[in-house]
């Protein structure tokens, strides 16, 4: 697993509190599920980044030639972008919490000058794998550059009659070469070429670097199209089981080449299927906090709804109310995103004993529009409400998604907001009711030192619009709290 500005190097590191950054929430440690930006070729690269983030995916594969942004239709994402544009792209990715890990399919000719342009770009952008279909005579040069730059090259298979349509050809050109060279296995193109993906994966054992992962509605047909994983002819479950057996580690790029204008709902189903299978093979412990139908929650009818995988406050005066998990949690990491409107006030409660009296029986991380406030206080976004101010005011302006991670371990509470650690709290310092360690008053009748260490998680309905998405939780202990 890779260290990034918005991720920990591994799940084990994610448990090594204090929490310093947002964790990776992959269902299978070492399987990096992301998207190939070509899935969103009708949109700009920046829109592709936003769509990946909306799906809760931390990883992205770019391709050369995509329009960069709507306001500059003539600017394209390529390895020849000037330094200023690259810097802007890096910032966009960082703001979205998305890591650019692969780049392709791109030309790598038997020309060192041209190849170095691609490798220089990859090194500058932090890309680990270049995806290409190079001519065999270029492979000596490419392998040398791979070793020099510490960047892999994965050989992609377009359908028959392309050069690498059959896995035997990839094996042939990689024979005797280092592990810096291998396959970018496109399961859909194999199916179009009449190649069984499972047999191809078995044949390429030890040589697969990354995937363009697909499930198609037909086998052996050039015009076959993508379908939700697990519903087509690829036998996705068998493929994942085989890759688990092989000990594969790497990127699965969702390349969904169907329903181009509105593919996100179908891709979300692919992600759910993948995570379900992967978590059974090698569970990391990360799971969705809320069921899609909110059946694992307690709420008033009409107060909240899950709309396109976004938890949305819907309440009126009559239906107003918080939403609570039926289960209780003690030591955990909770990772999520939220979006506010102007003057929104809400909160995330946890370790709440009595959901009818959450303020006095739980702990609240404040969720509110404090974007324009120069100094952070105990009622500002990211604060432990009325007790501890965030170190910085990190909330984004209304209308933008914020990423928040809350970690609880015994008496310690940590909050990371938009990549910045803002809370490092020791509950044992709150020894008196209605009093903070600095002597200022708070409203709590129980000293935080004496608060229960388990309880329900809830999202406050304070009468203002608020949205939550990608709510993932991992318990930090094996035993399930009662």
> What would the pLDDT profile of 362-421 be if each residue is shown by its tens digit?
999 999 999 988 778 999 999 999 999 999 999 999 999 999 999 999 999 999 999 999
Once rounded to an integer, what is the mean pLDDT over residues 312-320? 90
Environment class of 401 (CB within 10 Å of its CB; exposed 0-12, middle 13-18, buried 19+)? buried
| Structural domain range at position 179 | 18-284
Mean pLDDT of 343-358: 96
Q: Is residue 2 part of a domain?
A: no
Whole-number Å distance between alpha carbons of 20 and 419: 8
Do 266 and 301 share a domain, yes or no?
no
Q: Reply yes or no on whether the pLDDT at 6 is more than 60.
A: no
Can you give the pLDDT at residue 16? 53
Can you give the CATH number for the domain in which 388 is found?
A: 2.60.120.560
What's the confidence (pLDDT) of residue 306?
96
Neighbours of 405 (CB within 10 A): 24
- Whether residue 102 contacts residue 211, with contact meaning beta carbons closer than 8 Å, is answered with no
Bridge partners, residue 364, by sequence: 349
CA–CA separation, 151 vs 44, rounded Å? Answer: 26
Nearest one of 177, 169, 176 to 195, comparing CA atoms: 169
* Residue 3 domain-assigned (yes or no): no
- Nearest-angstrom CA–CA distance, 75 and 45: 10
Same domain assignment for residues 78 and 185: yes
Tokens of 162: 């392309």
Tokens 């991992």 locate to 474
310-313 and 345-352: which strand pairing?
unpaired
Residue labelled with tokens 């590191």: 13
363 shares its domain with 270: no
- Where are any strands of DSSP class E within 16-71? 31-36, 59-62, 66-69
Count how many domains the chain has: 2
Answer whether residue 1 is part of any domain. Answer: no
Nearest to 337 by CA among 30, 16, 5, 56: 56
User: Which stretches does DSSP call E strand in 124-194?
Assistant: 129-132, 152-156, 181-186
Extended strands (E) in 46-119: 59-62, 66-69, 72-77, 99-104
User: E strands along 167-224, which residues?
Assistant: 181-186, 208-213
As a whole number of angstroms, the distance between CA 425 and CA 382 comes to: 12
Shared domain check, 95 and 194: yes
The CA distances from residue 456 to 350, 362, 385, in Å, are 6, 8, 17
Q: Are residues 252 and 386 in the same domain?
A: no
Which pLDDT score is estimated for 478?
Answer: 44
Q: What is the pLDDT of residue 374?
A: 78
End-to-end CA distance of the chain: 33
Q: Which two tokens stand for residue 76?
A: 């394209």
pTM for the model: 0.92
């Amino acid at each position: 697993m890779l260290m990034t500005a918005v991720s920990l190097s591994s799940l084990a590191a994610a448990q090594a509190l204090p929490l310093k950054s947002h964790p990776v929430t992959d269902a299978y440690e070492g399987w990096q599920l992301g998207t190939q930006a070509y899935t969103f070729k009708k949109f700009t690269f920046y829109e592709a980044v936003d769509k990946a983030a909306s799906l809760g995916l931390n990883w992205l594969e770019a391709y050369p030639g995509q329009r960069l942004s709507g306001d500059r239709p003539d600017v394209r994402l390529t390895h020849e972008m000037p330094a200023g544009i690259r810097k802007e792209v890096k910032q966009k990715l960082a703001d979205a919490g998305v890591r650019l890990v692969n780049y392709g399919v791109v030309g790598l000719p038997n020309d060192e000058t041209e190849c170095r342009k691609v490798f220089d770009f990859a090194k500058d952008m932090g890309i680990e794998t270049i995806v290409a279909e190079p001519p065999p005579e270029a492979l000596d040069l490419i392998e040398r550059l791979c070793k020099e730059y510490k960047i892999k090259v994965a050989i992609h298979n377009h359908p028959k009659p392309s050069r690498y349509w059959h896995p035997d050809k990839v094996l042939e050109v990689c024979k005797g070469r280092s592990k810096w060279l291998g396959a970018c296995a496109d399961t859909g193109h194999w199916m179009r070429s009449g190649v069984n993906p499972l047999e191809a994966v078995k044949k390429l054992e030890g040589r697969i670097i990354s995937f363009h992962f697909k499930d198609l509605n037909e086998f052996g047909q050039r015009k076959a199209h993508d379908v939700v994983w697990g519903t087509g002819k690829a036998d996705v479950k068998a493929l994942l089981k085989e890759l688990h057996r092989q000990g594969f580690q790497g990127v699965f790029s969702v390349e969904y080449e169907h329903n181009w204008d509105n593919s996100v709902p179908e891709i979300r189903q692919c992600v759910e299927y993948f995570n379900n299978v992967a978590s059974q093979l090698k569970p990391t412990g990360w799971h969705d906090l809320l069921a899609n139908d909110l059946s694992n929650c307690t709420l008033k009818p009409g107060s909240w709804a899950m709309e396109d995988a976004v938890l949305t406050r819907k309440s009126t005066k009559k239906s107003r109310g918080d939403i609570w998990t039926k289960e209780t949690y003690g030591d955990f990491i909770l990772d999520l995103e939220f979006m506010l409107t102007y003057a929104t006030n809400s909160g995330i409660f946890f370790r709440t004993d009595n959901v009818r009296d959450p303020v006095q029986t739980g702990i609240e991380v404040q969720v509110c529009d404090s974007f324009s406030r120069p100094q952070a206080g105990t009622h500002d976004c990211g604060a432990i409400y009325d007790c501890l101010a965030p170190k910085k005011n990190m909330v984004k302006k209304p209308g933008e998604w914020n990423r928040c991670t809350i970690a609880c371990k015994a008496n310690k509470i940590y909050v990371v907001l938009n990549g910045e650690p803002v809370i490092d709290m020791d509950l044992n310092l709150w020894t008196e009711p209605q009093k903070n360690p600095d002597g200022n008053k708070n409203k709590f009748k129980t000293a935080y030192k004496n608060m229960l260490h388990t309880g329900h998680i809830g999202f406050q309905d304070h009468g203002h619009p608020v949205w939550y998405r990608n709510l993932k939780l991992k318990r930090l202990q094996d035993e399930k709290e009662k």
